[in-house]
Amino acid sequence: MGEAEQDAPGVAAAPAGEVARGAGFAVAPGTAKRPGVLVAMPFDRALLARFKENFPTARWRRKLRRWFVPGTTAEQRADAWIAREISALDAYGDDKGRDAYAFEPLESPYLEAGRDALVVRTPYSRTVVDSLRGIPFAAWAPEIRAWRVPWRSYEALKEVWAVIEEAARLSEPAARRARREAARNPAAEAERRRRRHPVPRGDPPPLGAAVEVADAGIVVFEALDDAPIAETEALAHYPGITAPGPLVWGWWRIPTFSEIAEAVPAAAPDAPGRGWWPATRAGLEERLRRLRETARAQETRAGKARAKRAAEAEPRGPGAA
C-alpha cells in the first residue's frame, strides 16, 4: 500500500470540504469520530518520501485517493508542510517576494523577516487569524507559536497588513486594560462584589445547586432574605429582571468543581426575566474554564512562594550552620 496505490489510474471525487492549496495540493477535514485531515498531492516519488518522513502515521485511503493524517492538529501540520513544499517548487516566486520586501519593507514589531518565510507573531485576535487564513500558503507554526507566510505571499500580506497590525495593537494587554478601565462602572462593580442577586420571592432558585444568572454566570445560592428589597437604586443594576411580584435578595457563591460536574445542563434559559435559570451547557463550560484558570494561578503563586521559602532557608556564606 502507498506508492503503487497512489500511482494507480482513476480519479476520485473530492471529499466534502476540500480546499485547494495550489500546485496540486488540497486538504479536507476528517470527522468528529476520527479527527485528522485528508491530503491530496501530485504524485512524485521524492515528494511522497518526504511526506512519509514528516507524517509516519499517515495512511492511504484508496477509495478517496487521499492520504489521511490523524490528529487534532493534523491540518495545521499538513498546511505548514504543504507551504514548505510549494515554496521549494516556487523558488522564483519567493525571490520576487524578497525583492519586493527589500524595495518596500513592512516595518512592524509584529513581523520578522526569516530566511525561508516571514514570521507574524501577535497577541491573539480573531481578526488577525481570519486575515492570515486568507493569505495563500500562510500556516500556523505551533512550535514557535507564530504564523509563517512564505515570501511569495508577501504582496498578499502587504494588502491586509494594516488590518492585522491595528487588530494586534488593540489586542495588546495594555490596550485591553485601557478599554476595561474606560468601561468601568464603580457602582456596578461594588454591587457585584456583594455577591447578591434579586430573585422573585414566589419563584426562588434552589439552594445549594448550580444555577445561572445574567451578570455572574453560574453560581450557587446559599441563602434568601425574607423581606422584600427596598433598595430601588440597587435594583437598577439588574435591568433584565421583569418578573412580577416582590423581589428578595439571594446570596450566592462561586460553585466548586464537583458542583459543576453534578449539574445537568439545560438546553437554554427557560425564564431569564425572573433573574435566574437552570445552568446551560455554555454557562457551565465558561465557569469551568474560569475555575481552571483560577486553580492554575493559585498553583503558580504557591509554587513561587515555596521556591522563595526554600531560597530563604538555604545557608548563606561559609559560616552558616
**Domain check: are 191 and 278 in the same one?**
yes
From 28, 57, 84, the end of a domain falls on: 84
174 CB contacts (<8 Å, ≥6 apart)?
Answer: none
**Domain check: are 103 and 163 in the same one?**
yes
Q: What is the pLDDT of residues 168-217, one digit of tens each?
A: 999 999 998 888 877 777 888 888 889 999 999 999 999 999 999 988 89
Q: Does the pLDDT of residue 4 top 60, yes or no?
A: no
Q: Does the pLDDT of residue 2 top 70, yes or no?
A: no
Q: What is the pLDDT of residues 37-91, one digit of tens each?
A: 999 987 778 788 999 999 999 999 988 889 999 998 999 999 999 988 877 766 6
User: Which residue shows C-alpha cell 470540504?
Assistant: 17
Q: Does the pLDDT of residue 238 top 90, yes or no?
A: no
pLDDT for position 318: 63
Confirm whether 293 is domain-assigned: no
**Domain check: are 125 and 150 in the same one?**
yes
User: How distant, in Å, are the alpha carbons of 147, 157, 163, 235, 306 from that of 19?
Assistant: 19, 20, 25, 53, 51
Distance CA 56, CA 74 (A): 12
Indicate the length of the chain as a whole number.
321
**Domain check: are 280 and 214 in the same one?**
yes
**Domain check: are 204 and 272 in the same one?**
yes
Distance CA 194, CA 215 (A): 13
Distance CA 177, CA 195 (A): 24
**Domain check: are 21 and 74 in the same one?**
yes
Confirm whether 302 is domain-assigned: no
* 252 φ, ψ (degrees, to nearest 5): -120, 170
Contact 27, 75 (CB under 8 A): yes
Confirm whether 213 is domain-assigned: yes
Q: Does the pLDDT of residue 307 top 90, yes or no?
A: no
**Domain check: are 96 and 118 in the same one?**
yes
Provide the domain limits for residue 60: 3-84
Confirm whether 315 is domain-assigned: no
pTM above 0.85, yes or no: no
Helix 126-133 to helix 154-170 angle (10° resolution) is: 170
**Domain check: are 106 and 140 in the same one?**
yes
Confirm whether 150 is domain-assigned: yes
**Domain check: are 204 and 265 in the same one?**
yes
**Domain check: are 270 and 205 in the same one?**
yes
Q: How many CB atoms lie within 10 A of CB 218?
A: 25
Most confident range, picked from 8-22, 117-131, 302-316: 117-131
Distance CA 247, CA 224 (A): 10
**Domain check: are 80 and 110 in the same one?**
no
pLDDT tier for residue 256 given thresholds of 50, 70 and 90: very high
From 144, 177, 210, the end of a domain falls on: 177
Confirm whether 250 is domain-assigned: yes
Confirm whether 319 is domain-assigned: no
Task: Calculate the average pLDDT of the chain.
Answer: 86
From first CA to last CA, the distance across the chain in angstroms is 70
Number of domains observed in the structure of the chain: 3
Q: What share of the chain is helix, strand, coil (3-state, %, to 5)?
A: 40, 20, 40
**Domain check: are 173 and 191 in the same one?**
no
Query: What's the gap between Cα 125 and its chain centre?
Result: 9
pLDDT tier for residue 5 given thresholds of 50, 70 and 90: very low
